[in-house]
Amino acid sequence: MQKFKPTLIIIGTLLIGFVLGYFVSGTVTHHKIKSYMRVTEKEGFVNMIYDRIDPSDAQKEQLYPILQKYSQKSNTCLERHKVVIDSLRTELEPYLTPEQMQKLEKCIGCKGETCSPKKNNCQME
Convert the pLDDT of each residue in 87-118 to its tens digit: 888 898 898 898 888 888 877 765 434 344 44
d(C-alpha 60, C-alpha 52), whole Å: 13
Secondary structure class of 121 (helix, strand, coil): strand
d(C-alpha 43, C-alpha 11), whole Å: 48
β-bridge mates for residue 122, sequence order: 115
Q: What is the pLDDT of residue 35?
A: 67
Is the pLDDT at 120 greater than 60? The verdict is no
Secondary structure class of 116 (helix, strand, coil): strand
pLDDT in tens, 20-64: 988 888 888 877 777 666 666 667 888 888 888 899 999 999 999
- Alpha helix stretches (DSSP H) within 2-56: 4-38, 44-53
